[in-house]
Amino acid sequence: MAKRENEGCPRFATPTTVSPITIEHTGFVDLQVNGFAGIDFNDPGCTPDDLQRALDAIVRTGVTRCLPTLITSSLDRFTACARLIARHPSRVIAGLHMEGPYISPADGARGAHPLEHVAPASRDDFERRQEAAEGRIVLVTLAPEVPGALALIEHLSAAGIRVALGHTVAEPQQIADAVRAGATLSTHLGNGCPLTLPRHPNVIWEQLAADALVASLIVDGHHLPPSTVKVMVRAKSPERTILVTDAVAPAASPPGQYWVSGMRIELDANGRVSKPGSRMLAGSALLMPQAIGNVVRFTDLAIDRVLRMASDQPAAYIGVRPAGRVTMVWDADEHRLTVERVTQMDTNESDPQIHTDEHR
């Protein structure tokens, strides 16, 4: 007799279940967090106390492990920010995500990254940044078309450092070459590219079609429309989709103006983060429980499958163990997930090693 899909897996609701219900699940893992609760991780003036306050606020949303993310900047600015994060003792920090500076300089693809600090990919430059981060960089986002990218991808992959493609206008062959060199992730797929693209081929189609690339998505209702989320998850499969917040300082904060990496940005009443007077997105104010609820609403997937996109799957991708337990209330009628309690389980167990042929 054929085994039905998900048979034997825990289920949290059935057609006869009365909503809302209580769910207990492993803690969430966010691979892209630029700041939180008014704190900007890309600000050299950020203090250890500031960082701890932000991490405490992140944990209250159910995220028990994350990658603080440093975007395109000068080496001096990166060094100051990376050292603070690398030396912080919290196990919530699972490493650093370096997003740039090896990205496309083109408007649209570059996003909110400062043009003056965009640079070619260089092993020497990366090693200086990794030294500043005391070896804590575990994920690098770059554009495969920039000079030196393929050689750096090969070097990072051989060192067990994950490589993601993002902020790119790469041609199909450049994406294929990057995958062969060791790239395994698409950073916030569907964003970090020009507003107008050729019908086909284009940088989104090529990454969707690349089975070796896992996709991370920002599902806040601003970065991607619902139909796009549904199609992307179907194309990649839920098992090869990872949810990220791409949160910046305004996350978990009231609407208003904030500073992120030296740029003034604005959080409006609808939760959209952009440069004042512009429609260009500049990160998000998304919380992981909101992302999970949005994916269920946009895709009609069961809540248990979507929860894994925010926990076990990103953890496995970077080779760490999820931490803690999160008790939540799920209202299926409203597609609302509310965190009620987070139990941190600090462990002395070492994380599993990343094998560079996984997810390829």
Q: What is the pLDDT of residues 178-215, one digit of tens each?
A: 999 999 999 999 999 988 999 999 999 999 999 999 99
Residue 13 lies in a domain: no
The mean pLDDT value for 222-250 works out to 98
Residue 133 lies in a domain: yes
pLDDT at 1 over 50: no
Question: What CATH code is carried by the domain that includes residue 212?
Answer: 3.20.20.140
pLDDT band at 345, cuts 50/70/90? low
Q: Where are the alpha helices (DSSP H) in the chain?
A: 48-60, 75-86, 123-132, 149-158, 172-181, 203-209, 226-236, 288-299, 303-309, 312-318
Which residues are paired to 99 by β-bridges?
71, 141
Which residues are paired to 21 by β-bridges?
330
Decide which of 301 and 19 is more confident.
301
Number of domains comprising the chain: 1
Tokens (6 digits) for 80:
């100051």
Tell me which of 158-162, 274-278, 330-334 is least confident.
Answer: 274-278
The mean pLDDT value for 142-151 works out to 98
Q: What predicted TM-score, i.e. pTM, was given to this entire model?
A: 0.92
Residue 129 lies in a domain: yes
Residue 16 lies in a domain: no
Q: What is the pLDDT of residue 183?
A: 98
Residue 310 lies in a domain: yes
Residue 349 lies in a domain: no
Output b/e per residue, 162-198; b: 16+ Cβ within 10 A: bbbbbbbbbebebbbbbbebbbbbbbbbbbbbeeeee
Task: Please give the residue range of the domain that contains residue 169.
Answer: 21-343
Q: What is the pLDDT of residue 360?
A: 41
Residue-wise pLDDT tens digits, 154-177 = 999 999 999 999 999 999 999 999
pLDDT band at 18, cuts 50/70/90? low
- Compute the residue count for the chain: 360
Decide which of 168 and 278 is more confident.
168
Residue 237 lies in a domain: yes
Percent of the chain residues topping a pLDDT of 90: 86
Q: What is the pLDDT of residue 279?
A: 84
Q: Spell out the residues 6+ positions from residue 39 whose beta carbon is closer than 8 angstroms to its own.
A: 46, 50, 51, 53, 54, 249
pLDDT band at 59, cuts 50/70/90? very high
Residue-wise pLDDT tens digits, 80-139 = 999 999 999 999 999 999 999 999 999 999 999 999 999 999 999 999 999 999 999 999
Which residues are paired to 326 by β-bridges?
25, 342
pLDDT at 14 over 50: no
Residue 210 lies in a domain: yes
